[in-house]
Amino acid sequence: MTGPRESRRPRESSRPRWTGDGHQQDPDEGRKPADVGWSVFSYLIGGMVVYGLAGWLIGRWTRLTVLFPIGMLAGLAFAIALIIFRFSRPQQ
């Protein structure tokens, strides 16, 4: 191929990076507010889906239909706890 090649930057990973002074750099540092908002939204939906599905499956197995809404609420609570833990840390 003789056309000009488009230079592509490799995607940055979400793993913490070590800075030169021995400190760990947070992967969420420098993110746009919209990116943080979408992350929070996906945690909330993901927690409800995963724990709601687990509650639904266990509820079908035990014939206790109340486990589905309990699972969804538990997933929502765990997601909120994860959001508070992850996004409320002070930036260094």
Q: What is the pLDDT of residue 87?
A: 86
68 near 53, Cβ under 8 Å? no
Q: What is the pLDDT of residue 5?
A: 58
Q: What is the pLDDT of residue 2?
A: 58
pLDDT reading at 68 higher than 90 = yes
Instruction: Tell me the pLDDT tens digit for each residue of 5-53.
Output: 555 555 555 555 655 666 666 665 666 788 889 999 999 999 999 999 9
pLDDT reading at 91 higher than 90 = no
Provide the pairing of β-strand 24-25 with 17-18: antiparallel
DSSP string, 12-60: PPSS-EE-TTSPEEPTTTT--HHHHHHHHHHHHHHHHHHHHHHHHHHHH
Average pLDDT over every residue of 62-90 = 94
Domain ranges of the chain: 36-92
